[in-house]
Amino acid sequence: MRLRPYQPGDWDAVYDICVRTGANGEDARGHYPRDALLPDLFAGPYLALEPERAFVLDAGERVVGYVLGTADTPAFVTAWRERWLPRVAGSHPPPVASPRTAEERLIALLHRPEAQLFPELAPHPAHLHVDLLPEAQGAGFGRRLVETFLTAVARAGAPSLHLGTGSGNLRAVRFYERMGFQRLSVAGVEGATYFWRSTAVSGAEG
């Protein structure tokens, strides 16, 4: 398997992986009326707005993993509203009332990217998402993807980064802890665990 920079032709593969790992690491296909909802939130904006910070794991015949994110979350949120939301808003109309279902909460986040800007995360401006299909897990590729991303955002000037994962995704929680990420308390957040760490690759543990 080869780790390489994202290319425009990888778009569909990244979207597919995002859905197949979107339920706390398990397959989320069919969980929502439109499978594109999850990648329109957690993959598409990054591929469209900061493709230079996206990397994929190429197994030869197909892409089986990726890491993507931003070096500057506040600037990214602004670009999301100005450049990404107009592309996808018609496919996911905002709820007419306060969100009640999981789908409505995701759509509300799509339309209000500013909800990502928690004060506790401000000191750690970069953030990432990393996903691997089952056949690529457990062989060190996740670590390589994250370290590649850390190097990329460090070069862009980000001293540290944050990320969030579902509290029920114990495999991901253990992975980040092994990589030297530290838990970060974020007020008012339920069902997610946040972490932060320096972008210095030499600081990785385990």
Radius of gyration of the chain (CA): 16
The separation between the first and the last C-alpha atoms of the chain, rounded to the nearest angstrom, is 22
- Answer whether residue 206 shows pLDDT above 80: no
Give residue 167's pLDDT: 81
pTM more than 0.75 = yes
- Give the start-to-end residue ranges of the domains of the chain: 2-158
Give residue 39's pLDDT: 97
Give the three-class secondary structure for 155.
helix
Tokens describing residue 131? 């996903």
Give the lowest-confidence range in 51-60, 65-74, 92-101, 181-190: 92-101
Contact (Cβ atoms closer than 8 angstroms) between residue 114 and residue 77: yes
Query: Class for domain 2-158, per CATH?
Result: alpha beta
Tokens describing residue 94? 């905002």
CA-nearest of 128, 127, 103 to 37 is 103
Give residue 202's pLDDT: 65
- Answer whether residue 44 shows pLDDT above 60: yes
pLDDT in tens, 95-130: 878 888 999 999 999 999 999 999 999 999 999 999
How far is 28 from 110, CA to CA, in rounded Å? 18
